[in-house]
Amino acid sequence: MTSSTSSRSAHWKWLVCGLLLCASVLLYLDRQTLPNVASRVTKEFNLRQEQYGDVEMYFGYAFAVGAFLWGCVADKWSVRWLYPALVLAWSAMGFLTGLVKDYESLLVCRTLLGFFESGHWPCALKTTQRLLARDERTLGNSVLQSGASLGAVMTPLVMKFMLAGRTEPGVWREPFLVIGAVGVLWVVAWFLMLKEKDFGNGESAPEAASPAVPQREENFFAIFTDRRFWALVVVVAAINICWQVVRAWLPKFLIEGKGYAEADALGFNSLYYIATDIGCLGAGAAALWLVKRGWEVHRSRATVFGVCALLTSLTAVAAALPQGWALLGVLLVVAGGSLGLFPCYYSFSQELSTKHQGKVTGILGTVAWATSSPCQKFFGRLVDQTGSFNEGIALAGLAPLVGYAALILLWREPKADRPVSVG
């Protein structure tokens, strides 16, 4: 920790992680509002499934561009000022989505939403890297990531509360306006809780630098010669294909694919994301527990990642099941595994660099969205052609196993006696 943060109370850094969780909640509230009313929107604007896939695809492409851009900016500018500016920007795009009058305007708002939301992860991960020791980061990143689940849980509940029994055209716009206005509250809390000095001089916690994990900081381009980076390229693509495809299409899968009523599908959607939150926090806790039991840090993370990848592969089972409790139960297991992958991945990425964490996060974020976004259009086209959501859902859940294979084949911990260069 920096000298400034070390003078804080022992609980302060975890309160900051809680604030980062709230940012993830806001991000997913703004992001998930559209999938939860997708059937209404596609009907009102008379869209094909592929056109809805285009909306998600352009959101993802903008996220890919923004991830690299904001990652570079986060390494140069003060995160204390950049982060809240981005929160306000994506909240504004969410609000404006509630005012769109046609498909083209919807496409523009969702594209800009993706662009600004992409800055969340570089800023948040720089914050946890600065405040938490190496063995604490997987748990801290679990807290951060679990906000995605909480936001996704809350969104269908808000939608159900605001839209239940209401079928008039355009009523779906109201949640966008309400949710988009909430970001101002988070910005106030951020400035009250963190000062510029809390980020120190840009160094991570001293105890985070392990002799087994030398930190090569002077030359940014040396990262591209590191096999661990290329392992994470495959990992981040695989886990995001799984997460983003299911996130965007789950309500339609249940309503149009399995025949559930909208209210029932929205209720289960909340339950699904409660399960993702349990899986996310459970993955972080399991990794820390294994370390406390004497396991090496990387081994503990990789083991948890592998278990989670096996759980997501059960989408192949869910696709074959009819409407009923068995289907819903399998989906809940998939949910836990799908988000449990992320805190492990974030912790892997934080091993690559301290000085260039923002750029590393941004580049990998660009890879994630550049690979997962075309899958949205492919999914929609597949549904239009086959009349079924099953094939796409099944394929999405198998992707993390490819990421796990890359992790096992390519990741090598650096030698402890290797020269260390710290920027």
Structural domain contains residue 209: no
> Phi then psi for 251, rounded to 5 degrees?
-60, -40
Structural domain contains residue 69: yes
Report d(CA 49, CA 56) in Å as an integer. 11
pLDDT value at residue 218? 53
Q: Are 62 and 363 in contact (CB under 8 A)?
A: no
Report d(CA 404, CA 406) in Å as an integer. 5
pLDDT band, very low/low/confident/very high, at 10 (cuts 50, 70, 90): low
DSSP letter (8 states) at residue 1: -
Structural domain contains residue 286: yes
- The answer, yes or no, to whether residue 402 has pLDDT greater than 50, is yes
Structural domain contains residue 40: yes
Domain of 137 in residue numbering reads as 3-204+222-410
pLDDT band, very low/low/confident/very high, at 216 (cuts 50, 70, 90): very low
pLDDT band, very low/low/confident/very high, at 333 (cuts 50, 70, 90): very high
DSSP letter (8 states) at residue 354: S
Mean pLDDT, range 132-148, rounded to an integer = 79
pLDDT band, very low/low/confident/very high, at 415 (cuts 50, 70, 90): low
Structural domain contains residue 308: yes
- The answer, yes or no, to whether residue 203 has pLDDT greater than 70, is no
Most confident range (mean pLDDT) of 140-144, 270-274, 315-319 is: 315-319
pLDDT value at residue 9? 64
Count up the domains in the chain and report the number: 1
pLDDT band, very low/low/confident/very high, at 194 (cuts 50, 70, 90): confident
pLDDT band, very low/low/confident/very high, at 270 (cuts 50, 70, 90): confident
Report d(CA 70, CA 83) in Å as an integer. 10
pLDDT band, very low/low/confident/very high, at 6 (cuts 50, 70, 90): low
CATH of the domain at 396: 1.20.1250.20
Q: What is the mean pLDDT of the chain?
A: 85
Q: For the chain, percent helix, then strand, then coil, each to nearest 5?
A: 80, 0, 20
Distances (CA, A) of 176 to 60, 118, 344: 19, 19, 32
Structural domain contains residue 74: yes
Q: Are 300 and 287 in contact (CB under 8 A)?
A: yes
Structural domain contains residue 381: yes
Interacting residues of 47 by C-beta distance below 8 A, sequence separation 6+: 41, 103
Q: Which residue has the tokens 């949710």?
A: 179
Structural domain contains residue 215: no
The three state secondary structure string of 2-27 is: CHHHHCCCCCHHHHHHHHHHHHHHHH
pLDDT value at residue 60? 86
